[in-house]
Amino acid sequence: MRRGASYFGNGDYERAFADVNQAIDIDPRNFKAYSNRGILYTIQREYERAISDATKAIEINPKFPNPYAVRGNAYQGQGDHDRAIADLTKAIELDPKSAGAYANRANIHAIKGEYDQAVADSTRAITIDPKLVGSYVSRAGFRAQKGDYDQAIADGTKAIEIDPASTRAYVIRANSFIRKGDFDRAIADATRAIEINPKDPNAYDNRGFAHGRKGDYDRAIADDTKAIEIDPKLAHVYRNRAMAYDQKGDYDLAIADYAKLIEIEPKNFGDAMSVGLSRFVKGDFERASVDLLHALELRADVYAILFRYLARARSGEGDAALAELAENAQRLKVRVWPYAFIELYLGKRSPDEMLAAAVKVSDRCLTQFYVGEWHALKGNSGEAVAALSGAVGICPKETMEYRTSTAELARLKS
Q: What is the pLDDT along the chain (414 residues), one digit of tens a residue?
A: 444 455 455 567 888 889 999 999 999 999 999 999 999 999 999 999 999 999 999 999 999 999 999 999 999 999 999 999 999 999 999 999 999 999 999 999 999 999 999 999 999 999 999 999 999 999 999 999 999 999 999 999 999 999 999 999 999 999 999 999 999 999 999 999 999 999 999 999 999 999 999 999 999 999 999 999 999 999 999 999 999 999 999 999 999 999 999 999 999 999 999 999 999 999 999 999 999 999 999 999 999 999 999 999 999 999 999 999 999 999 998 888 899 999 999 999 999 999 999 999 999 999 999 999 999 999 999 999 999 999 999 999 989 999 999 999 999 988
**H-state helical runs in 95-147:** 99-111, 115-128, 133-145
| Rounded Cα gap, residues 167 and 368, in angstroms | 47
Its sign, for the CA torsion 63, 66, 71, 72, is positive
CA 285 from centre of chain? 30
CB 399 within 8 A of CB 389: no
The separation between the first and the last C-alpha atoms of the chain, rounded to the nearest angstrom, is 82
Its sign, for the CA torsion 179, 180, 182, 187, is negative
The DSSP annotation for 16-67 comes to HHHHHHHHHHH-TT-HHHHHHHHHHHHHTT-HHHHHHHHHHHHHH-TT-SHH
Angle at the Cα of 395 from the Cα atoms of 389 and 396, rounded to 5 degrees: 135
What is residue 9's predicted lDDT score, i.e. its pLDDT? 54
Closest CA to 402 of 378, 375, 366: 366
Residues 6+ apart with CB under 8 A from 41: 47, 49, 50, 53, 74
CB 170 within 8 A of CB 193: yes
What is residue 4's predicted lDDT score, i.e. its pLDDT? 47
What is residue 71's predicted lDDT score, i.e. its pLDDT? 97
Helix, strand, coil percentages, rounded to 5, for the chain: 80, 0, 20
| Rounded Cα gap, residues 376 and 12, in angstroms | 73
Per-residue pLDDT tens for 171-196?
Answer: 999 999 999 999 999 999 999 999 99
CA 358 from centre of chain? 34
What is residue 336's predicted lDDT score, i.e. its pLDDT? 87
Closest CA to 370 of 405, 335, 334, 332: 405
What is residue 289's predicted lDDT score, i.e. its pLDDT? 97
What is residue 11's predicted lDDT score, i.e. its pLDDT? 66
Its sign, for the CA torsion 368, 369, 374, 379, is positive
| Rounded Cα gap, residues 2 and 391, in angstroms | 74
Instruction: 227-232: list long-range contacts, CB under 8 Å, 24+ apart.
Output: 227/201, 227/202, 228/201, 230/199, 230/200, 230/201, 230/204, 231/201
| Rounded Cα gap, residues 41 and 35, in angstroms | 10
What is residue 398's predicted lDDT score, i.e. its pLDDT? 87
| Rounded Cα gap, residues 244 and 60, in angstroms | 60
Q: Give the 3-state secondary structure of residue 332.
A: coil
Residues 6+ apart with CB under 8 A from 259: 275
- What pTM was computed for the model? 0.85
Residue 348: is it exposed, middle or buried by C-beta count within 10 angstroms (0-12/13-18/19+)? exposed
CB 297 within 8 A of CB 328: no
- Cis peptide leading into residue 67 (ω within 30°): no
What is residue 2's predicted lDDT score, i.e. its pLDDT? 45
Q: Give the 3-state secondary structure of residue 201.
A: helix
What is residue 3's predicted lDDT score, i.e. its pLDDT? 47
